[in-house]
Structure 1
């Protein structure tokens, strides 16, 4: 009797998952394997002759070699004994007992400890919220509820109907556009446009395309390649003033920021090692070697940072940059277009900021009719 060997768990049940144990003996509550992802062309199962009587959960026996083939699967044209996926998605046995690959993953509630971290190659809909502490990766992502203190990475676009309450720890990154109801205390990184339907408060933004905040924008910094639109109010509040930076590639600026953080950490290590340098001790050579290695890394990172800045200057499009505010601009707002800088010293209304002759100038009205 032929048997089918599975390259996924045929008895998988996402409703009965258990935490895994780490090598150090602690329990991992976040990586519990909520979904069995597969990619196009991946082997899902293959026929083997049942000649040794071995019993294993990865095998199922059949009376004939006829694949239980469901949607988005097919026989491998290069090996008819194998069943492969024809779409990116997740694999499972459906209610009809057929091996199926589904492109869209629905979470019918919150993504939390019941799901753990989710790493999925297809599209994802979370019908509830993404709870704090999770890491979510998928292609296109639609969240019906709120994103809390979580890391969310979309290979396509991300839409969050409930808004983002990051508490200073949420990091949301998309290759395509991002849209959310509101955003508070988070970091947003987008390869294209960002649209915030209401207010954005105390959020660091890196937007490679156009940034539009329909309500109030306070805090920052907010980086956009060319255009920023704020509908109701720019600035205000008692904390960090709104900082808007346009004219340079935000993703390159993000790289520069990360390099600066690495340099700061290495500088701290040098200070720490220098304080531990004993006089005439046998371990003195060891600490000096560590200091030298840190200095080499710093030199390399500074050179890389300089190269990025040179590239930024070459790709800048300052004359076409615009920051448009049909509403109110509060005192203290800081505007940067390229190397030019302007701090708003008096309230403004229905204005736009633009670059001319190495300076930032103010025009009105904000939008041409």
Structure 2
């Protein structure tokens, strides 16, 4: 019996109230589960729907008093429709729910009653090569990407020869949620694979065909392009009979490069014998020296955007955009690599010492050697997990930000903004005659552009710092035999000096990024 002017309970979700004489009656709008909390009555629909509206489950709770009102299929479908469950309904599941169990037991049950179709991403583009793979510039992985850690001299191809096919990414399969709404599917990733020198492309159905326009050497350039380069062959040495060499393609030197000469190539440089003191080699591809690279106080300079390989290196400077692989030893040299520095190479037929003694080695991805340092070397400096261009890039970013700040300061003075709020100034400018508004409007636009540029520069700088931090976690130093005292070690930003002999050791940063871990190498 109700008190006059007062409800016994509050009517919550899916509950309605009817007054009759001196009684208050509470009715459920749906078939579901009653909840009483804090003086409020609620009725919950017997469904759970996922946040992405791709699944709906029926929740069957046990009855407290043993009495369960059996839902009809019409009631169940009506409630599902009210919850916008219109697609993917599992009819068999509904039949199981509305037909009571033969054993009369009504326990707790969760049953999937509707399921949408999830979207499926399309297939990524893939690269297929049609030249000799045992001599190719890199390894093609199963998913179509390329691994360029071991780049070799490639085979010659003929004019108009099909050398590669890029299979374009495919469209994905669209999905549909329980509401019947279409869920767009992402297209497969498009691998960049540019036609560079002496390549023509022909569009086919779902693919791009790459043909050589000349007879020459086919080279995979980085991981984004393919090129066919003409080859310039020198049958003897680079010396006074040839002069300095500069060529838009590959240069193959059958002899040595004599002291004082320079070779520059847009393609690979291959030297069958020696590179002597005071020589400069510059390549937009790879540099391969069959014998040694010798300098004096690092006056021999080797610079390659790709990989550098040699028998040994002594008192030379090497800068590489990929791996540096030395078959025998590295002594008193400066080597900067954006890949790994490895000595000896993985070919077991070469019986090199695999030692690094003296000098400075900076390798972005890591260093593997038989031994580092010696009982007689003064100091050997080893740095991994750092891009050797990192400091320069950070300085350039900082200079760019300073330039933007300077330009913003100049523009604020021009606008006579001072301590005024820019929105306040805009309102004041809007009251000026049209002809006087123009310089202010142009100034506002330039200020906006410079501010946007500044934010982009800061974002790129932060991305570089983050990438370098991640790189330092992946890089490591592997010493298969002996790591000697007087070796300076740096992994990322963490530094240490070796004070005793370690054997068969691997060095990496700890999980807390605060120290270098010394792990046994097996």
Same fold (TM over 0.5): yes
C-alpha distance in 2 between matches for 1:140 and 1:108: 16
Unaligned runs of at least 5 residues, structure 2 = 1-197, 199-212, 217-228, 345-353, 397-457
C-alpha distance in 2 between matches for 1:323 and 1:200: 16
- Residue 238 of structure 1, CA deviation: 4.0
- Residue 252 of structure 1, CA deviation: 3.3
1:329 to 476, 483, 487: 483
- Over aligned residue pairs, what C-alpha RMSD do you find? 3.0
1:112-191 equivalences under 5 Å are: 112-138=239-265, 139-148=267-276, 149-167=278-296, 168-191=298-321
1:250-329 equivalences under 5 Å are: 250-253=388-391, 312-316=464-468, 317-329=471-483
Contact 2:307 2:320 in 1 (8 A): yes
1:75-114 equivalences under 5 Å are: 87=214, 103-114=230-241
Contact 1:226 1:322 in 2 (8 A): yes
Return closer, same or farther for 1:150/1:239 CA change in 2, 3 Å cut-off: same
- Residue 319 of structure 1, CA deviation: 1.6
Unaligned runs of at least 5 residues, structure 1 = 1-71, 73-85, 90-101, 259-305
- Residue 170 of structure 1, CA deviation: 0.6
Contact 2:378 2:486 in 1 (8 A): no
Contact 1:146 1:161 in 2 (8 A): yes
C-alpha distance in 2 between matches for 1:199 and 1:327: 14
C-alpha distance in 2 between matches for 1:257 and 1:230: 32
Structure number with the bigger relative contact order (C-alpha 8 A, sep ≥ 6) is 1
Larger radius of gyration: 2
Contact 2:375 2:484 in 1 (8 A): no
Return closer, same or farther for 1:257/1:170 CA change in 2, 3 Å cut-off: farther
SS of structure 1 residue aligned to 2:465: helix
Return closer, same or farther for 1:345/1:171 CA change in 2, 3 Å cut-off: same
Q: Verify: 1:244 aligned to 2:373, yes or no.
A: no
Q: Verify: 1:213 aligned to 2:352, yes or no.
A: no
Deviation readout 1:311-357 (Å, 9 max, x if unpaired): 65322122211100011111111110111111111101000101012
SS of structure 2 residue aligned to 1:336: strand
SS of structure 2 residue aligned to 1:331: coil
C-alpha distance in 2 between matches for 1:152 and 1:114: 18
- Residue 220 of structure 1, CA deviation: 2.4
- Residue 257 of structure 1, CA deviation: 10
Question: With structure 2 as the length reference, what TM-score do the two structures score?
Answer: 0.40
C-alpha distance in 1 between matches for 2:303 and 2:392: 12
Q: Which residue of 2 aligns with 1:228?
A: 367
Question: With structure 1 as the length reference, what TM-score do the two structures score?
Answer: 0.56
